[in-house]
Amino acid sequence: MMSNRTGVAVDNGKLLGSYLKDRRARLDPAALGFPVGRRRTPGLRREELAQRSGISPTWYTWLEQGRGGAPSAGVLDRIAGALMLTDVEREHLFLLGLGRPPEVRYRGAQGVTPRLQRLLDALETSPALIKTATWDVVAWNRAAALVLTDYGKLPPDKRNILRLMFGNPAIRAAQPDWDSVARFVVGAFRADAARAGAVSEVGQLVEELCALSAEFAALWREQDVAVHGEGMKRLTHPVVGPLVLEYSGFAVDGRPDLGMIVYNPATGADAALIRSLLSKE
């Protein structure tokens, strides 16, 4: 049971059954290889959906009737596949059936939508970037290229924040408080990978970084975690000198593998320095 906004108790089983029935009615029997014939209602029959899900027709019927009990995550996953649910629909199914979202399925990102890139570009004097759960930078704006790193000049496989932090002397020299930044970055990286279900995907990268940097290896062994929420970043830029930025981290809705980081100039003087860099291009 759960309560809605009016405080009235709502039966999760009935909500789950109603949702299953609605989604089943949207499926095309002919497209899925079932005979059309004469059907009293649109969509698949219950026994056809049960067949596609690999579960008992009787139990599936009970689920739709709100009396099947709590299904396992595996069963819900099979039903979601049979119903051809989108990621957000699958999440809703799990919330109704188990009261929690499903385990995250990691999928690597190759880029961002044009709309998201336009959002980055609109932040003219605020360096901003999009990173994956494995901390590969997949999108950035002009200010980020001038203030942080010109990712466009790097091969895609080298646009990784961890590789740059621990393997690029110029990046390290630009961080006055490198030790504390490095500790934070490793902790946030560990947390992001776990949250996005990408623990196995980062294994090769971690091995590479441990071989590259004894400092990374030591920090990784400590198993600390951190959240990339908000804070201050100090840089020594090779052209304009010291810069202070306020950063904020944002999740990209519906994409647990992507995160956006925006760096705002901490003062008017910092903003003027960034504008001077932009004007020289």
Distance CA 104, CA 93 (A): 14
Q: Residue 271 pLDDT > 70, yes or no?
A: yes
Task: State whether 171 and 229 are in the same domain.
Answer: yes
Structure tokens at 55: 């579960």
Distance CA 212, CA 202 (A): 15
CATH number at residue 42: 1.10.260.40
Of the residues 98, 131, 157, the one at which a domain ends: 98
Contact 13, 1 (CB under 8 A): no
Contact 205, 162 (CB under 8 A): yes
Domain extent, residue 39, equals: 2-98
Query: What's the domain count of the chain?
Result: 2
Q: Residue 106 pLDDT > 70, yes or no?
A: no
Of the residues 43, 64, 98, the one at which a domain ends: 98
Reported as half-sphere exposure (CB side, CA atoms, 13 A), residue 228 has a value of: 29
pLDDT at 88: 81
What tens digit of pLDDT does each residue of 66-96 get? 887 778 899 999 999 999 998 889 889 988 9
Contact 120, 111 (CB under 8 A): no
**Position 108 in a domain:** no
Quick check: pTM over 0.85? no
Task: State whether 83 and 159 are in the same domain.
Answer: no
pLDDT at 87: 80
Distance CA 22, CA 15 (A): 11
Of the residues 35, 66, 98, the one at which a domain ends: 98
- pLDDT band at 1; cut points 50, 70, 90: very low
Q: Residue 21 pLDDT > 90, yes or no?
A: yes
Q: What is the mean pLDDT of residues 225-239?
A: 91
CATH number at residue 219: 3.30.450.180
Q: Residue 8 pLDDT > 60, yes or no?
A: no
pLDDT at 147: 97
Which of 174, 179, 144, 177 has its CA nearest to residue 159? 144
Task: State whether 232 and 165 are in the same domain.
Answer: yes
Task: State whether 76 and 180 are in the same domain.
Answer: no
Instruction: State the angle between helix axes of 214-222 and 178-195 in degrees (0 to 180), rounded to the nearest 10.
Output: 50
Q: What is the mean pLDDT of residues 225-237?
A: 90
Q: What is the mean pLDDT of residues 91-118?
A: 80
**Position 107 in a domain:** no
**Position 103 in a domain:** no
Q: What is the mean pLDDT of residues 3-28?
A: 74
Task: State whether 171 and 50 are in the same domain.
Answer: no
Task: State whether 244 and 152 are in the same domain.
Answer: yes
What tens digit of pLDDT does each residue of 253-265 get? 767 778 999 999 9
Q: What is the mean pLDDT of residues 159-171?
A: 95
Task: State whether 88 and 211 are in the same domain.
Answer: no
**Position 163 in a domain:** yes
pLDDT at 202: 86
pLDDT at 110: 61
Q: Which helix (H) or strand (E) holds 257?
A: strand 255-265
Percent above pLDDT 70 for the chain: 92
pLDDT at 239: 95
Q: Give the distance, in angstroms, between the CA of residue 92 and the centroid of all CA atoms in the same chain.
A: 17
Q: Residue 214 pLDDT > 70, yes or no?
A: yes
Task: State whether 174 and 226 are in the same domain.
Answer: yes
Q: Residue 220 pLDDT > 90, yes or no?
A: yes
Task: State whether 59 and 153 are in the same domain.
Answer: no
pLDDT at 69: 74
**Position 69 in a domain:** yes
Distance CA 148, CA 146 (A): 6
